[in-house]
Amino acid sequence: MPFTTTNPATGSVEQTYAGHRAGEVDARLDRAAAAYRRFRRTTFAERARLMTGAAELLEGELPVTARMVTAEMGKPFAQAKGEVAKCALALRWFAEHAERLLADEEVTARSFVRYEPIGPVLAVMPWNFPLWQVVRFAAPALMLGNVGVLKHASNVPQTALYLEDLFRRAGYPEGVFTTLLVGSAEVAGIVADDRVAAVTLTGSEAAGRSVAAAAGEALKKCVLELGGSDPFVVLASADLDEAVPTAVQARCQNNGQSCIAAKRFVVEAPVLEEFTDRFTEAMAAQTVGDPLDPATDVGPLVSESQRREIAAQVDDARDRGATVRCGGQVPDGPGWYYPPTVLTGVAPGMRAYEEEVFGPVAVVEAADDLDHALALANRTSFGLGSSVWTTDEAVQRRCVAELEAGQVFVNAMVASAPELPFGGIKRSGFGRELSGLGLREFANAKSVRLA
423 closest CA partner among 216, 188, 137 = 137
CB-based contact 205:228 (threshold 8 Å): no
Q: Which stretch binds ligand NAP (CB under 6 A): 43-51, 224-232, 233-241, 368-376?
A: 224-232
In which element (H, E) is residue 102 found?
A: none
Using DSSP's 3-state secondary structure scheme, residue 382 falls into strand
CB-based contact 324:376 (threshold 8 Å): no
Min dist CB 390 to ligand NAP, Å, is 26
- Is 342 near ligand NAP (CB under 6 A)? no
Residues numbered 355 to 414 that lie near ligand NAP (CB under 6 A) are 356, 358, 384
* Exposed/middle/buried for residue 192 (C-beta within 10 Å: 0-12, 13-18, 19+): middle
With CB atoms as reference, the residue minimizing the distance to ligand NAP is: 203
Beta strands in 99-182 (DSSP E): 105-108, 111-117, 120-124, 147-151, 177-179
Rounded to whole angstroms, the Cα distance separating 137 from 121 reads 9
Rounded to whole angstroms, the Cα distance separating 316 from 439 reads 43
User: What one-character DSSP code corresponds to residue 433?
Assistant: B
- Is 236 near ligand NAP (CB under 6 A)? no
Residues numbered 258 to 287 that lie near ligand NAP (CB under 6 A) are 259
- Annotated catalytic residue 225: yes
CB-based contact 176:142 (threshold 8 Å): yes
- Is 154 near ligand NAP (CB under 6 A)? yes
- In the bound state with ligand NAP, the residue whose beta carbon lies nearer, of 197 and 224, is 224
The one-letter amino acid at 94: F
Per annotation, catalytic residue among 225, 268, 356, 441:
225
Q: Which stretch binds ligand NAP (CB under 6 A): 74-82, 97-105, 180-188, 330-338?
A: 180-188
Among residues 35, 98, 143, 187, which is the contact residue for ligand NAP, using CB under 6 A?
A: 187
- Is 204 near ligand NAP (CB under 6 A)? yes
How many residues in the shown chain lie near ligand NAP by CB under 6 A? 29
- In the bound state with ligand NAP, the residue whose beta carbon lies nearer, of 115 and 442, is 442
Q: List Cβ neighbours of 185 (8 Å cut-off, separation of 6 or more).
A: none
- In the bound state with ligand NAP, the residue whose beta carbon lies nearer, of 128 and 387, is 128
Catalytic positions are: 225, 259
Chain contacts with ligand NAP (rule: CB under 6 A): 124-128, 151-154, 183-184, 187, 202-204, 207, 210-211, 225-228, 259, 356, 358, 384, 424, 428-429
